[in-house]
């Protein structure tokens, strides 16, 4: 059948099972939006307040559902406004398809109105980027985009379509998408055998879980593996929920703001099994000194990550779930009672702590965990509140912490929460933000109210850029250069002006009743939580230090 390019776009989206698109229209993409209007019963379009909000919403939808997120924008500034969201998805391996439209083919390369080479701009931050100049190539490009986004290590793909292509006609033949198999062809038997040999010899094994374990859906296999290996389990920020945070073997997050138990124990381990992690500097401390006593086994679907940041002893290339299946089938029950007792004793004696005599971020998060029974999807912005959300909310299932780990994108969480709620309408979705981050994209509250998306926005309002201030306090002689936000902005009034229900919390006894009302509201809610400016995230590893140098507030007080 003969279809226009815009009709082909919509038919290909339907082919791929897309039920939701996040975007913002403009002149170059109008033909596609006109076609979306005709198919609004099949594809739900969420109009965001800003294109960046659309890219973050598509990202949150993808992370929380495991499906491909889709966002759209027009040419020029519309397309460039997607860039931060695309880069965020790229750093955290999120399957995303961004569809933009450009000026017509005769106008390309002539600095035409609202023309930008967005395929070129995004080339370093996508798995692939297309510029479609012929309608005959459009269906193939769209199908390839969805396949590339999901194959192997997931990631974002951008398709830029010239405007005249959306109006031109060509023959269209429907196709049923093929199931994308798990990456198993690179799993080498010899590498598996070397890994198993190291595990069997280990006296002090430990498991470190990264985001790849979440992406692969390896939670069942991981739990079985941890029990068979009889090892403590730590995770990265991106690995949260792949292993249940309530399990006895779990010792907390690793890295700059990891637990003392995790940081110190990795330094003592003799075998470290790393599952789907790329060894971010926020995890390793001084890279050359990371886990120096351990033989390191790295399992990753992406060969480019092997020996990139940390030199390992054995690498197994393949999907984490598939590799763990093999490990579990080959590994007998092991036992390390002395090592486990030592680590568990450390866990008992070195717990996370915070001040219990005033309103703090950790108190609010613990109360939120209690009231939601740990069943909520939590999204975050970036900063102190993000680390508290990682430390004090216990994640027992994958895809329940939605956060920008690699790029550290302030302004990410609110859009991501909207996407997560759209993808999981029966789940409670809460975005935890700092006041600095909320200012970045707070206009997306209007998106939530316009589309009646009942998310909860918790603002930890300390009137400063908290994490930057923490560094300024500890390492920059308390020179607070441009990190103080004390002004006349009233977040309750801002939220109410955008149509949301809003509350302000200033003391501990207000937390539970306000959270209960928010959880029962069934509409967008913003809660302004006023906390102290100098609250800090502990434990901490200072920049340029090893994980074994981890310290907390008690250590600082002892030194002074």
Mean local confidence (pLDDT), 144-158: 97
- In the numeric block, which tokens belong to residue 173? 């033949």
> What are the structural domains of the chain?
2-171 (3.40.50.970), 189-349 (3.40.50.1220), 361-537 (3.40.50.970)
- On the question of pLDDT at 279 being above 80, the answer is yes
Q: 2 with 139: CB under 8 angstroms? A: no
Mean local confidence (pLDDT), 18-45: 98
- On the question of pLDDT at 475 being above 90, the answer is yes
Count of CB atoms within 10 A of residue 351's CB? Answer: 10
Mean pLDDT lowest among 19-33, 177-191, 505-519, 537-551: 177-191
Residues facing 204 on adjacent strands: none
d(CA 542, CA 471): 9
pLDDT digits (tens, 9 = 90+) for 251-266: 999 999 999 999 999 9
pLDDT band at 183 (very low <50, low <70, confident <90, very high): low
DSSP code at position 536: -
- On the question of pLDDT at 195 being above 70, the answer is yes
Query: Annotated active-site positions, please?
Result: 51, 113-114, 163, 467
**513 CB-side CA count, 13 A:** 8
What pLDDT is attached to residue 179? 86
- On the question of pLDDT at 185 being above 90, the answer is no
- Assess whether the previous peptide bond of 539 is cis (omega < 30° from 0): yes
d(CA 503, CA 273): 45
User: What size, in residues, is the chain?
Assistant: 560
d(CA 480, CA 463): 12
Mean local confidence (pLDDT), 422-435: 98
Count of CB atoms within 10 A of residue 477's CB? Answer: 8
pLDDT band at 182 (very low <50, low <70, confident <90, very high): confident
Mean local confidence (pLDDT), 106-133: 97
What pLDDT is attached to residue 42? 98
What pLDDT is attached to residue 178? 86
Q: What does the H/E/C string look like for 336-390?
A: CHHHHHHHHHHHHHCCCCCCCCCCCHHHHHHHHHHHHCCCCEEEECCCHHHHHHH
What pLDDT is attached to residue 206? 98
d(CA 92, CA 113): 33
DSSP code at position 551: B
pLDDT digits (tens, 9 = 90+) for 86-118: 999 999 999 999 999 999 999 999 999 999 999
Percentage of the chain surpassing pLDDT 90? 97
Q: 519 with 368: CB under 8 angstroms? A: no
pLDDT digits (tens, 9 = 90+) for 326-349: 999 999 999 999 999 999 999 999
Averaged pLDDT of the chain = 97
Mean local confidence (pLDDT), 204-232: 98
Mean local confidence (pLDDT), 171-179: 93
- On the question of pLDDT at 402 being above 90, the answer is yes
pLDDT digits (tens, 9 = 90+) for 281-313: 999 999 999 999 999 999 999 999 999 999 999
* pTM of the model as a whole: 0.97
């Amino acid at each position: 059948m003969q279809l226009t390019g815009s009709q082909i776009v919509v038919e290909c989206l339907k082919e791929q099972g897309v039920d939701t698109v996040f975007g913002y229209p403009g002149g170059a993409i109008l033909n596609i939006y006109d076609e979306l209007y005709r198919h609004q019963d099949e594809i739900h379009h969420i109009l965001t307040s800003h294109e960046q909000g659309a890219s973050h919403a598509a990202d949150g939808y993808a992370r929380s559902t495991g499906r491909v997120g889709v966002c759209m924008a027009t040419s020029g500034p519309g397309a460039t406004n997607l860039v931060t969201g695309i880069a965020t998805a790229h750093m955290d391996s999120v399957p995303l398809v961004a569809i933009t439209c450009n000026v017509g083919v005769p106008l390309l390369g002539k600095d035409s109105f609202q023309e930008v080479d967005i395929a070129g701009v995004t080339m370093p931050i996508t798995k692939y980027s297309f510029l479609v100049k012929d309608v005959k190539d459009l269906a193939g490009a769209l199908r390839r985009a969805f396949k590339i986004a999901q194959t192997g290590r997931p990631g974002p793909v951008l398709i830029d379509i010239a405007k005249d292509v959306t109006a031109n006609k060509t023959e269209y033949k429907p196709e049923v998408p093929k199931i994308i198999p798990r990456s198993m062809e690179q799993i080498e038997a010899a590498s598996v055998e070397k890994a198993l040999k190291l595990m069997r010899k280990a006296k002090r094994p430990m498991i470190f879980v990264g985001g790849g374990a979440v992406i692969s859906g390896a939670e069942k296999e991981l739990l079985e593996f941890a029990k068979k290996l009889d090892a403590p389990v730590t995770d990265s920020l991106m690995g949260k929920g792949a292993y249940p945070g309530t399990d006895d073997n779990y010792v907390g997050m690793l890295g700059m703001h990891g637990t003392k138990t995790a940081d110190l124990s990795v330094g003592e381990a003799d075998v470290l099994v790393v599952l789907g992690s790329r060894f971010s500097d926020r995890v390793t401390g001084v890279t050359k000194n990371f886990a120096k006593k351990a033989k390191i086994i790295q399992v990753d679907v992406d060969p480019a990550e092997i020996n990139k940041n940390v030199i390992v002893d054995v690498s197994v290339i393949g999907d984490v779930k598939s590799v763990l299946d093999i490990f579990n089938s080959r590994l007998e029950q092991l036992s390390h009672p002395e090592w486990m007792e030592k680590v568990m004793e450390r866990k008992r004696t070195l717990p996370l702590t915070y001040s219990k005599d005033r309103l703090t971020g950790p108190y609010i998060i613990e109360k939120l965990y209690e009231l939601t029974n740990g069943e909520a999807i939590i999204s975050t912005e970036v900063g102190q509140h993000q680390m508290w959300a990682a430390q004090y909310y216990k994640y027992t299932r994958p895809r329940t912490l939605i956060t920008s780990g690699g790029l550290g994108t302030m302004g990410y969480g609110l859009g991501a929460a909207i996407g997560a709620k759209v993808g999981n309408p029966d789940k409670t979705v809460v975005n935890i933000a700092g006041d600095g981050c909320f200012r970045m994209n707070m206009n997306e509250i209007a998106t939530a109210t316009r589309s009646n998306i009942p998310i909860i926005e918790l603002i930890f309002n300390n009137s400063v850029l908290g994490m930057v201030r923490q560094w300024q306090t500890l390492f920059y002689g308390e020179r607070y250069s441009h990190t103080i936000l004390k002004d006349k902005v009233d977040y309750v009034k801002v939220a109410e002006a955008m149509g949301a229900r809003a509350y302000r919390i200033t003391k501990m006894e207000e937390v539970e009743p306000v959270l209960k009302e928010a959880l029962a509201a069934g509409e967008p809610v913003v809660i302004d939580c006023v906390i102290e400016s100098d609250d800090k995230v502990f434990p901490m590893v200072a920049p340029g230090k090893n994980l074994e140098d981890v310290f907390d507030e008690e250590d600082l007080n002892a030194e002074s």
